[in-house]
Structure 1
Amino acid sequence: MAFSPVLSTVAETIQVAIAPVFLLAGLGAILNVMVGRLARIVDRSRQLEALHLRAIGPERERHIHELRLIDGRIRTINNAVYLVVMAAIAICLVVAMLFVAELANLQIGQVIAVAFIVSMLLLTGGLICFLIEIHMSVRAIRVRSDLIHPTLP
């Protein structure tokens, strides 16, 4: 006779898996913010590229400087997105392992705990990268002094 899990066992496993599933929803929201930020950065880089082609002198140098900053921001936010997606994948594996362990009667609690710890480390890394990108963007926002204090003729 084939193994058939008891309904109460499946219900208990679902209850245990609820927290990681809510975490996945939160990771989706974080990713949405990060990808939206990445889209705005890319839009700004395209604007600057168009302006750069027509610029000369000090204006051209400002565009080059800002494009270099934007390039670093894009790399940093891409790393953040990558790490958070990896965290989400690790959480999915945790949920899957919870069910496999219950259905196959495996004693893999330590493996599941390690997978959860890895997901939290990946999430932490992604959030640190996101924080670095925010810091980079704040540093990059400088109002030119000639606009604030124009010289009088």
Structure 2
Amino acid sequence: MDQGAAVSAIAHLISLAIAPVFLLAGIGSILNVLAGRLARSVDRWRRLEDQYEGLEGAALREASAELHILDQRMTVINLAISCCTSSALLICLVVAILFVADLADFPFGRPIAWLFILAMLMLVLGLVLFLYEVRLAMRALRAHRDIMPHRRG
């Protein structure tokens, strides 16, 4: 194979891999947001857990309800993180197989397509779970707001 043709083929492969790499950067940003939301939920859980022993009556019921919602939120966030991370790993496989397929001169077109479709499905599922977690958080805030006495300004 001509050296110029080899460089041209590698340049073409790199250009094919750029779109998935940008997708990986976007997934990284989503994972950063999810990790932040998980950290805030864990911090709130720990604060409530520290106060829990001294609570009685209505305050104890409110704390228990909030701990239940926080547990749901943390479970959903963990699932979303797992889905988005799986998506990123599958995209990495797509990029790697693109290079291997060309170097081995083997037609991996169908497996690459299926891996990319699976990666997109995992990303969609992760985003749906993220949306569900946000709705859980909003529901908890509304319930908390309904319990709080109204402030007069």
Distance in 2, Cα, partners of 1:33 & 1:146 = 28
Output one character per residue of 1:36-61: Cα deviation in whole Å (capped at 9) or x when no partner: 01000000001111111111111011
Of the structure 1 ranges 103-112 and 137-146, higher mean CA displacement relative to structure 2 is found in: 137-146
Aligned to 2:18: 18
Output one character per residue of 1:94-146: Cα deviation in whole Å (capped at 9) or x when no partner: 00000001100011111101100000000000000000000000000131445
- For 2:64, give the aligned amino acid: I
- Please give the root-mean-square deviation of Cα atoms over the aligned residues, in Å: 1.7
Aligned to 2:72: 72
Structure-2-length-normalised TM-score: 0.92
Structure-1-length-normalised TM-score: 0.92
Pair 42,146 (structure 1): closer, same or farther in 2 beyond 3 Å: closer
Pair 146,18 (structure 1): closer, same or farther in 2 beyond 3 Å: closer
Distance in 2, Cα, partners of 1:149 & 1:81 = 37
* Alignment gaps of 5+ in structure 1: none
Distance in 2, Cα, partners of 1:73 & 1:25 = 25
Distance in 2, Cα, partners of 1:106 & 1:136 = 48
- For 2:132, give the aligned amino acid: I
Distance in 1, Cα, partners of 2:53 & 2:117 = 48
- For 1:119, give the aligned amino acid: A
- Identity of counterpart residues, as a percentage? 45
Aligned pairs for 1:47-86 (under 5 A) are: 47-86=47-86
- 1:26 CA drift (Å): 0.6
Distance in 1, Cα, partners of 2:10 & 2:41 = 45
Q: How many residues align?
A: 147
- For 1:103, give the aligned amino acid: L
Aligned pairs for 1:86-125 (under 5 A) are: 86-125=86-125
